[in-house]
Chain A
Amino acid sequence: KNEVEQSPQNLTAQEGEFITINCSYSVGISALHWLQQHPGGGIVSLFMLSSGKKKHGRLIATINIQEKHSSLHITASHPRDSAVYICAVRHMDSNYQLIWGAGTKLIIKP
């Protein structure tokens, strides 16, 4: 079993829909990162969380430390949100190594 699991693996939605991408982890962490990679593009850091909730524009990230779970939400989704969303955690018991999820490929149709 992977230490960081993302779901769904692929997600296709219509423009305007509310999107949720999940990340579950099984290790102790000091922080969780959400990143975005557009096709053929670079990787951009969206959020870094150690507790609670953060919001940036239409993006919201939450983390529940007790349940070892984080969600990334996109409100009023737009085709330009189409990208791969990646979750990564800093593993406290492994010299703070970054452990990466496999990514969620999101396609927003106009």
Chain B
Amino acid sequence: KAGVTQTPRYLIKTRGQQVTLSCSPISGHRSVSWYQQTPGQGLQFLFEYFSETQRNKGNFPGRFSGRQFSNSRSEMNVSTLELGDSALYLCASSFLGNFIGLASPLHFGNGTRLTVT
């Protein structure tokens, strides 16, 4: 089974631009969550999607948005990029069945490293 695929792996953008990152979950997984990781920092939760609905959102400004498609693939978008948005963006998928509370293991992609200059 293919793992979680994130594209692109690396991205360089300039301040003020916008960026879209993609995450393809493991086949059959319906939950996708997104995280920001900066050097020396832990994982900062961005949002979680389940069956095309945003279930939870972290404390990030409205410039950060996301969506999930019917095939469970997810995208996150950052508009009006700032230097502080430079980070590794990770997504994770899990199979949660019909009930998001039913626990299942998390599978992470290798991330997209975004550099804003």
Q: Please list the residues of chain A having a beta carbon within 8 angstroms of any beta carbon in chain B.
A: 30-31, 33, 35, 42-45, 48, 50, 86, 88, 90, 92, 94-103
Please give the distance in Å from B50's CB to the nearest CB on chain A.
Answer: 9
Min C-beta distance of A108 to chain B, whole Å: 21
Q: Tell me which residues across on chain B come within 8 A of A102, comparing CB atoms.
A: 42
Please measure, in the bound complex, the distance between the C-alpha atom of A42 and the C-alpha atom of B112, giving whole angstroms.
Answer: 11
A48–B108 touching, CB < 8 Å: no
A45 to B94, CA, bound (A): 11
- Interface contact A35-B42, CB-CB below 8 Å: no
A85–B32 Cα gap in the complex (Å)?
A: 21
Main secondary structure of the interface of A (DSSP, over half): strand
Whether A96 touches B42, Cβ cut-off 8 Å, given contacts A43-B90, A45-B107, is no
Which residues of chain A are within 8 angstroms of B111 by Cβ–Cβ distance?
A: 42
Query: Contact between A95 and B55 (Cβ–Cβ < 8 Å)?
Result: yes
How many B residues face the partner with a CB closer than 8 A? 21
Bound state CA distance, A96 and B33, in angstroms?
12
CB–CB A30/B42 < 8 A:
no
Residues of B within 8 A of A96 (CB): 55-56, 100-101
The SS class assigned to the B binding surface is loop
Q: Does B110 contact A (CB under 8 A)?
A: yes
Given contacts A31-B103, A50-B103, contact A100 B56 (CB under 8 A): no
Shortest CB-to-CB span from B59 to chain A, Å, is 12
B72-117 residues with Cβ-Cβ distance < 8 A to A are: 90, 92, 100-111
| A–B Cβ pairs within 8 angstroms, 29 of them | A30-B101, A33-B105, A33-B106, A35-B108, A42-B110, A42-B111, A43-B90, A43-B106, A43-B108, A44-B108, A45-B106, A45-B108, A48-B105, A86-B42, A95-B55, A95-B56, A96-B100, A97-B55, A97-B56, A98-B33, A98-B45, A98-B48, A98-B56, A98-B106, A99-B45, A100-B45, A101-B42, A102-B42, A103-B43
Which residues of B sit under 8 angstroms from A43, Cβ to Cβ? 90, 92, 106, 108
Contacting residues, chain A, for B43 (C-beta < 8 A): 86, 100, 103
Q: With A96-B55, A97-B56, A101-B42 as given contacts, are A42 and B108 in contact (CB-CB < 8 Å)?
A: yes
